[in-house]
Amino acid sequence: MKGRELAKITTSDGKTIKVSSDHLVPVLTEKGIQLKFAHEIKKGDSLFILRNARKVLNNSYQYIEEWKLDEKLAFLLGLFTADGNYLYCDKTKIKAKGMQFTFNKEEKELIQLIKRIVKEVLNKDVIIKQDSRYNSVYVYLYHTKFSNACIKAGFNKYGRLPDAIFNSPTKVIRAFLNGFFTGDGYKKGNELHIKDELLARDLAMLYSLTGIPTTIRSKEKSQVIRLQHSHGRGSENKVHRDILYDRIPNFCINYSTVSGERRYLFKHAHKTIGSNMLKRFGALKILNGDAATVQVENIEIEFLEEPITFYDIELEKNHFFVHSLGTITHNCCRLNMDLTQLMNRPGGMWNLGDSTGSIGVVTINMNRIGYEAKSESEFFEKLEQYMILAKDSLEIKRKIIEQNLQRGLMPYTKVYLGTFRNHFSTIGLVGMNEACLNFRGEDISTQGSKHFTVAVLKFMREKILEFQQETGNLYNLEATPAESAAFRLAMLDKKMYKDIIVSGDKTPFLTNSTQLPVDKTKDLLFALDHQNDIQPLYTGGTIFHTFLGERVESGESCKRLVKKIAYNTKLPYFSITPTFSICKVHGYLRGEHWKCPRCGKPTEVYSRIVGYFRPVQNWNAGKQEEFKYRKTFDYKPILKEGFPSKIEKAIAKTTA
């Protein structure tokens, strides 16, 4: 459903939920649990928060490839996430060769502990070096396979924590948190100071899942997670106070057994009652329950210029669920705040949802960047400049289109679509193969050029994310078809630089996106292996075309071919594209025939220009030149027995 009113509710533990204004929220009142609309919530209302979820956590250990994620490894990875770095083979940061931990030289026991854990878990010896200039000690763990396995599993310095941690038993999660706190915590205040909102939210959720209460405070550029404890700050453990989650509203207590003077004090002087009093009145169910109560500290209702989408999550029985920071609410109309996740939802890859699409597409000429750049740093600087220019142009276009929509110039769009907020701004690229030829002196098929291409796409993905955060609009990275641009940009390149390398002989063209040169190989396995690590990096449209000289010999063979590719590669989309011809007299002809073999009359030869089947004679000059060079794949070797093991080895080799 769509709505224009957004409610932002902040509780006394610093945690925030954002829901539609008519979202139902369970509130603890004197009459029991009542459901209120979000806009009816007032400061001081008591909401429910998750105290712990240990009863429903997984009891099975997870694995990072061959290594069991037990308590020792979890502590090591928690410490690494807080205070470690990956060591990479080169500046492209594509493949890691190890890990680095940094300690104060006084942390001798911790250094020895890490040394023992690495030896026990990985059977490796660490290298310890002391920096004479500072009080720092560096511990190096060189283990290529393990480091890259951790990267693949999602153990990074920033952003979301991996699923493997959330799916682990309580003791493993606590070991990870203990390791993180050891590396980045302040023991005096029992606090973590973090400059990463996503990481802070995940840490707070892990603490809640395992029964460790926290508060979280967001500053302008950082977040502070404080582990709730009963010792007053600076009291040297002499002052004991009830933690926030061990307090409940005073109306929950039956005061009939309390003397008159104290009864007045409890009812009017204290809004909440702590654990000592709860124990006195026998309220153990509340203390030992899985949920606690917190008071509303602030509520804001924001009126939006454009309606946004809220999601109604349907459950069969229990209509309460836990938000990402532990707040318990009703199951309807939760706002999906992480807009980047739209790219991972069904239809997101090609933007085919009913209310989404692309606001516009800007295609970057990688070939010219490759020719002009004299160093890798200059290459990425130029790429960033072009991406910023692309972003600015797309933002201008979005603004104009939205203005036209509001002015009534797009009446049908206004009725059936309503908004462009769910539309992507698309940035794509063309000519990466030629860029490699001009910049590196070798085409994209080589291992070095492939690694460079992966680094380029990862760089572009990071910039796309920055643009989203900067503008609040959706962006995606796409292998744009560039049906005309591949020809037009190549001509402009040759006009500007006589010695620039492009594809084609008399008529220039650029190879599409990050594809192999069209005349590179007939080996389908090689092409699949090459594109297997490249195409999944796109967040927008991308496709691998299996060009065939003629149609597959049978429907069963085509089915087997599709299954082989789908089961053994990570390609998001692929097509089976046979070449065929049409004679006006004799109809369909298998393969490429410019004249009918039966009557000799001219025919129309059909293939995909990029996305659609069209007669080759109707293509632009650049694409017709490309078709002359295009090699078709031999699919029959793939159908032979034993192929899956070969491609699995090839995939393993490229991802190791």
Q: Is there a domain that residue 280 lies in? A: no
33: left (phi over 0), alpha (psi -120 to 50) or beta: beta
Can you read off the two tokens belonging to residue 467?
């643009």
Is residue 533 a contact partner of residue 454, using CB atoms and an 8 Å limit?
A: yes
Q: Is there a domain that residue 43 lies in? A: no
Residue finishing a domain among 184, 202, 227: 227
Q: Is there a domain that residue 135 lies in? A: yes
What's the pLDDT at 321? Answer: 46
What gap in Å lies between CA 146 and CA 152, rounded to an integer?
Answer: 10
Give φ, ψ of 218 to 5 degrees: -100, 125
For residue 535, the domain's CATH number is: 3.20.70.20
Residue from 499, 517, 365, 383 nearest 431 by CA: 365
Q: Which amino acid is at 601?
A: K
What's the pLDDT at 156? Answer: 82
Bridge partners of residue 366, in order along the sequence: none
Residue from 565, 511, 572 nearest 539 by CA: 572
Q: Is there a domain that residue 530 lies in? A: yes
Residue finishing a domain among 227, 246, 278: 227
Residue finishing a domain among 227, 261, 290: 227
Q: Is there a domain that residue 533 lies in? A: yes
Between helices 447-471 and 432-440, what is the axis angle to 10°? Answer: 120
Q: Is there a domain that residue 329 lies in? A: no
Q: Which range marks the domain in which residue 97 is found?
A: 62-227
Asked if residue 649 and residue 523 are part of one domain, the reply reads yes
Number of domains in the chain: 2
Measured CA angle at 520 (ends 516, 523), to 5 deg: 95
Q: Is there a domain that residue 274 lies in? A: no
Instruction: Give the single-character DSSP code of 162.
Output: P
What gap in Å lies between CA 88 and CA 237, rounded to an integer?
Answer: 45
What's the pLDDT at 335? Answer: 29
Is residue 35 a contact partner of residue 22, using CB atoms and an 8 Å limit?
A: no
Residue from 656, 376, 365, 380 nearest 533 by CA: 656
Place of tokens 């909401």: 47
Q: Going along 131-251, which residue ranges are E strands?
A: 136-142, 185-186, 191-194, 214-218, 223-227, 248-249
Q: Is there a domain that residue 276 lies in? A: no
Sign of CA dihedral 187, 189, 192, 195: negative
Is residue 89 a contact partner of residue 656, using CB atoms and an 8 Å limit?
A: no
| Ranges in the chain, pLDDT < 70 | 1-4, 54-56, 229-290, 304-355, 641-656
Residue from 117, 140, 137 nearest 127 by CA: 140
Asked if residue 350 and residue 202 are part of one domain, the reply reads no
Between the CA atoms of 250, 255, 259 and 260, what dihedral angle is there, to the nearest 10 degrees?
A: 80
What's the pLDDT at 343? Answer: 38
SS3 106: coil
For residue 173, the domain's CATH number is: 3.10.28.10
What gap in Å lies between CA 402 and CA 408, rounded to an integer?
Answer: 10
What gap in Å lies between CA 502 and CA 64, rounded to an integer?
Answer: 44
Q: Specify the pTM.
A: 0.49
Q: Which helix (H) or strand (E) holds 448?
A: helix 447-471
What gap in Å lies between CA 13 and CA 223, rounded to an integer?
Answer: 13
